[in-house]
Amino acid sequence: MSSRILAAAAALGLLLPVLPARALPEPRKVVDYDIRVTLDDERRELKGRETIRWTNPSDVAVQELKLHLYWNAFRNNRSTFFRESGGRLRRDQADETEGFGSIDLTSMTRDGVSLLPAARFESPDDGNRDDRTVLSVPLGSPVAPGETVALEIAWTSRIPKVFARAGYVRDFYMIGQWYPKVAVFEPRGRRRRAEPAWNAHQYHANSEFYADWGDYRVALTVPERYVVASAGALVKESREGGRKTLVFEQASVHDFAWSADPRFVVKEDFFDPHRDLPAGELARAAKLLGRSEADLRAGFRPVKLRYYMQPDHVGQWTRYADAQKWALVWFGLYAFPYPYAQASCVDPPEDGSGAMGMEYQTIFTGGTMRAFGHWPLNGIREPEMIVVHEFGHGWWYGLVASNEFEESWMDEGINSFTEYEMMDRRYGGMIRLPLGARLGSFDLGRIQTIRAREVDRLVTPSWSFAPGAYGRNSYARAATSIDQIRRILGEEAFWRAFRAWAERWRFDHPTSEDFLDAFRPAGGASLEPLIREIWYGNGTTDYAVSRVSSTEARPFEGYDDAGKRVRPPKEESGKKPPTGGKAKAAKRYESVALVSRIGTIPLPVTIVLSFENGATWRTTWDGKAPWLRLRTTYGSRLAKAEVDPERRIVLDANPWNNARYTGEKQGPSATAKVRAYALHGVQILLSSLWLLR
């Protein structure tokens, strides 16, 4: 076992070392930002200036910079974002009367020389000439390898009315993706790139982000009445003329967001690993990971937690805090500990739901409703789920920084998988249902996966999914596929490979292959069909019991090995055997079950035959052939044949065809059906309550 687990930690043929947290890699910082911005809440505008210091990370000279101007996605209804979304995102509708937003550069210089005259907009993904979200800026003279260039930029932004992550509603502001931001110049070898080049995609309806690490210093000037939540730590505050300027600093991040609302009620808490790290969970993790408790505990640090609550949600802040502390525990054990000193959670108003459930580094938005504070909806763990999910993005996208444009499953899918695991372990799932049923997070993910009719390969650029396919493929289907890998490998092998992969890629930019390579050695050949058909194809998994029969076995008739003719004995009706004579042999039954692989992905599967006398016969099939016939002769009639009775094939597209009965009873019981319909109904209910997925 130990050699297989060590092999599972290999990626690209290199063994991933087991590192104590203090020895984990640090970021390769490429770009630093010094930003000064003023909020004009009457005009709904931002006026900003920034100094960008960008260092060429490659071995070739760079002639131009690419900038993301994300808020131009909301500039008009001809942007790529609006064309793809139709002005809708996550059940929120854009206000096209007063809801548009934009960002306009008013100056940009290098060493005092203006760069704006030569700058041009590009649309590398779809050729949309009306899109203004990517700006290419010739630098005048090249930036040599390792050289740093400084740009001075001034801009004005119209703040959109919130419907897609950022914007305002009334006096609430969520300011994300708000400043001119340098795209990623990928050097040779980064994300397996053969030649260095820019990776700069447009802002799509389904895409999120990808950026390099650096240090941020941000000075926010706002009307004095506003309470400000921000990434980073507050290092300076001043007041003048009815305004206040707050200066925040944060090292080693690749984005910066903030929020303001005069109605925020601030609650504070503190994560203390000596107090908040449960001994039982530490012991469990040490056993699963094969590490000492002292080693696992060593990387934890105290974290200051702040919650910026709406007044009508204040009573729920402890739900946020409990979930966030649990996330700090779980990620610290099974991935790596949180490296920053603080984290802030913003609670948006209910009429600003477009800002709910969004992640940034050291700050994220939660999401709840007044109804979740009262019976019967207070039993739904939606507020906890959103905190676990969005704070979890601090690892998957934040610290293990995949390219969300091109490989959205690595962000949303891995994060959904860890969310499901944390929610089920901490809270027993999302909700309790009648008749003893429980809606766990993995249950919900499987329901969404089964319901998916739009199936694309997981490794698909976010803007290239079929209509309706992005969400289910990037979230639930990806998470359920990772769970399938776990069930193939087993708990210890999976979690050891998972943590080794996370540690190796902290402060780095992995690809899909880097993730899959971590599990291939332990999974062997059984993983390859799954990877080929799910990550790089549109395959499905479905096993069914197609036919069963059980009939009384006929006695032997014909010629035996000696050539003697054998005839079955004749029975004389109503005549008993004489005393001392030989009684008739017990009946035997010939039973046949036909199991079919309807899906395209062959996976090893268990088949169980259950007989009327209570006996069972179990066998394993490699699942490679289209079908398998099982035949047995036994002294009891076959009652049922079932494939995958433990439901280890979590990607099964139709679990209802997994069993077949020989008698009158066919299919699941009425109680099982009621439970299933209840699960399905609650899933639809949660979706209608703005389930943020």
Does the model's pTM come out above 0.85? yes
pLDDT band at 335 (very low <50, low <70, confident <90, very high): very high
Which one, of 556, 615, 619, 554, lies nearest residue 593 by Cα? 619
Contacts of 397 (CB under 8 A, 6+ apart): 208, 209, 359, 404, 411, 415
Cα 429 to Cα 160, 277, 372, 424, 485: the distances in Å are 36, 21, 16, 4, 21
Pick one of 1.10.10, 1.10.20, 1.10.390, 3.90.550 as the CATH number of 1-16+403-538.
Answer: 1.10.390
Tell me the pLDDT tens digit for each residue of 169-184.
999 999 999 999 999 9
- What is the C-alpha to C-alpha distance for residues 507 and 497, in angstroms, rounded to an integer? 18
Tell me the pLDDT tens digit for each residue of 525-565.
888 889 999 999 988 999 999 999 999 988 888 888 888 88
Task: Give 271-300 as a DSSP string.
Answer: E-HHHHS-HHHHHHHHHHHT--HHHHHHT-
Contacts of 273 (CB under 8 A, 6+ apart): 297, 300, 301, 302, 332
Given a cut of 80, whether residue 2 has pLDDT beyond it is no
Which helix (H) or strand (E) segment holds residue 480: the answer is: helix 478-489
What share of the chain in percent tops pLDDT 70?
87
Query: Quick one: average pLDDT of 478-507?
Result: 96
Which helix (H) or strand (E) segment holds residue 478: the answer is: helix 478-489
- How many CB atoms sit inside 10 A of residue 288's CB? 18
Phi, psi (deg, nearest 5) at residue 72: -70, -10
* Residue 327, helix vs strand vs coil: helix
543-560+586-648+654-677 under CATH 3.40.50, yes or no: no
Given a cut of 90, whether residue 455 has pLDDT beyond it is no
Helix-, strand-, coil-residue percentages of the chain, each rounded to 5: 30, 30, 40
pLDDT band at 437 (very low <50, low <70, confident <90, very high): low
Which one, of 617, 607, 599, lies nearest residue 653 by Cα? 599
- What is the C-alpha to C-alpha distance for residues 192 and 13, in angstroms, rounded to an integer? 14
Scan for tokens 């004579």, then name that residue: 581
Tell me the pLDDT tens digit for each residue of 552-611.
988 888 888 888 888 877 754 444 444 444 444 578 999 999 999 999 999 999 999 999
Tell me the pLDDT tens digit for each residue of 132-157.
999 999 999 999 999 999 999 999 99
Contacts of 274 (CB under 8 A, 6+ apart): none
Evaluate whether 355 touches 167 at the Cβ level (below 8 Å). Answer: yes
Tell me the pLDDT tens digit for each residue of 6-63.
233 333 333 334 444 444 568 899 999 999 999 999 999 999 999 999 999 999 999 9
Task: Give 630-681 as a DSSP string.
Answer: EEEEESS-EEEEEESTT---TTBS-GGGSEEESSS--SS-HHHHHHHHHHHH
* Residue 507, helix vs strand vs coil: coil
What pLDDT is attached to residue 582?
47
pLDDT band at 220 (very low <50, low <70, confident <90, very high): very high
What pLDDT is attached to residue 235?
98
Which one, of 338, 496, 359, lies nearest residue 415 by Cα? 359
* Residue 103, helix vs strand vs coil: strand
Evaluate whether 367 touches 356 at the Cβ level (below 8 Å). Answer: yes
Which strand ranges, in their side-by-side order, compose the sheet holding 363-365? Answer: 265-271, 303-309, 342-346, 363-365, 358-360
pLDDT band at 90 (very low <50, low <70, confident <90, very high): low
Same fold, 29-264 and 543-560+586-648+654-677: yes
612: burial class by Cβ within 10 Å (0-12, 13-18, 19+)?
A: middle
pLDDT band at 438 (very low <50, low <70, confident <90, very high): low
Pairing of β 358-360 and β 342-346: unpaired
What pLDDT is attached to residue 589?
94
Class at the top of the CATH hierarchy for domain 29-264: mainly beta
- What is the C-alpha to C-alpha distance for residues 124 and 662, in angstroms, rounded to an integer? 60
What pLDDT is attached to residue 558?
84
Phi, psi (deg, nearest 5) at residue 183: -70, -175
Higher-pLDDT residue of 582 and 301 is 301
Given a cut of 90, whether residue 406 has pLDDT beyond it is yes
What pLDDT is attached to residue 583?
43
Lowest mean per-residue pLDDT among 229-233, 452-456, 634-638: 452-456
Strand ranges in 310-440 using DSSP code E only, listed in sequence order: 342-346, 358-360, 363-365, 431-432, 438-439
Which one, of 290, 255, 334, 693, lies nearest residue 498 by Cα? 334
Higher-pLDDT residue of 13 and 370 is 370
Query: Quick one: average pLDDT of 455-479?
Result: 91
Q: What's CA 149's distance to the chain center, in Å? A: 36
Question: Which token pair is 140?
Answer: 């005048």
What share of the chain in percent tops pLDDT 90?
76
Domain boundaries, the chain: 1-16+403-538, 29-264, 268-395, 543-560+586-648+654-677
- What is the C-alpha to C-alpha distance for residues 547 and 640, in angstroms, rounded to an integer? 10
Which helix (H) or strand (E) segment holds residue 319: the answer is: helix 317-334
Task: Give 146-175 as a DSSP string.
Answer: T-EEEEEEEEEEEPPBSSBSBEEETTEEEE
| Residues composing the chain | 693
Residues in a beta bridge with 94 = none
Evaluate whether 383 touches 366 at the Cβ level (below 8 Å). Answer: yes
